[in-house]
Amino acid sequence: MALLLNIETSTAVCSVALGKDGKLLALKENKEGMKHASHLTVFIQDILKENELSMTDLDGIAVSMGPGSYTGLRIGVSTAKGLCFGANIPLIAISTLESMTKAVQETKDISLLIKNPETAYFCPMIDARRMEVYTAFYNSKTEQIKDISADIIDENSFEETLGEREIVFFGDGAAKCKEIIKSESGIFIDNVSTTAVGMIELAEQKFQNMKFEDVAYFEPFYLKDFVATTSKKNIFK
């Protein structure tokens, strides 16, 4: 039984949720783009103040570990690590794709969209630019079936699996795949974004099992190396 702060900054959404015993107590979110640096600490302060809590009242902090935006992950993880170190509380890392799946599976009436919920796979997709997505497969129990990977999507993607079972696609990377993956076994759910709400139950489970990260050495799961680009503008003109 724990009081945990959950931080999600892996995509354009900045989301902070307070969970107690695996249930949502409070939520602050911004979906207007990469404004995490200005919103994250304000959301944390507001949630604690509105619930009459201090950092030392928390049992731990959970952070979305990726894959996702390099900058977003750095902001979320560095903030979580700093707060954990200062309050001497444990750090919990949650897979971004797993938490997305958990949130979708808990959506009301999701089973009505699927003919065979027990055998269907859930496929969260995070946009990785062009036709590439960060993705994985999860079953109805949120157990990971396919390793997390960066996949370039074409008309043959997941063809074999779609011939065997339904796949539920969702996330900000799924929209661009909707017109390419034409199988009747492909189910697309629109307007699904990352959220700290999906982290709450997963974080509680990890807390109870004492699956904590090393605050000093933990790094996000970027999946791909960060590549810096050089501006083509001549700043001396």
pLDDT in tens, 105-121: 988 788 889 999 899 99
Spans of all domains in the chain: 3-96+194-208, 97-188
Exposure of 84 by Cβ count < 10 A (0-12 exposed, 13-18 middle, 19+ buried)? buried
* 167-170 vs 121-127, strand pairing mode: parallel
pLDDT score for 133: 96
Q: Are 103 and 170 in contact (CB under 8 A)?
A: no
Rounded distance between C-alpha atoms, residue 132 and residue 151, angstroms: 5
Predicted TM-score (pTM) of this structure: 0.90
Q: Are 220 and 65 in contact (CB under 8 A)?
A: yes
Indicate the CATH number of 3-96+194-208 among 3.40.50.1820, 2.40.40.20, 3.40.50.620, 3.30.420.40.
3.30.420.40
Instruction: Domain 97-188: give its CATH superfamily.
Output: ATPase, nucleotide binding domain (3.30.420.40)
3-state secondary structure of 2: coil
Query: Torsions phi, psi of 19, nearest 5?
Result: -120, 140
**Closest alpha carbon to 123 in 110, 137, 113, 133:** 137
pLDDT exceeds cutoff 80 at 32: yes
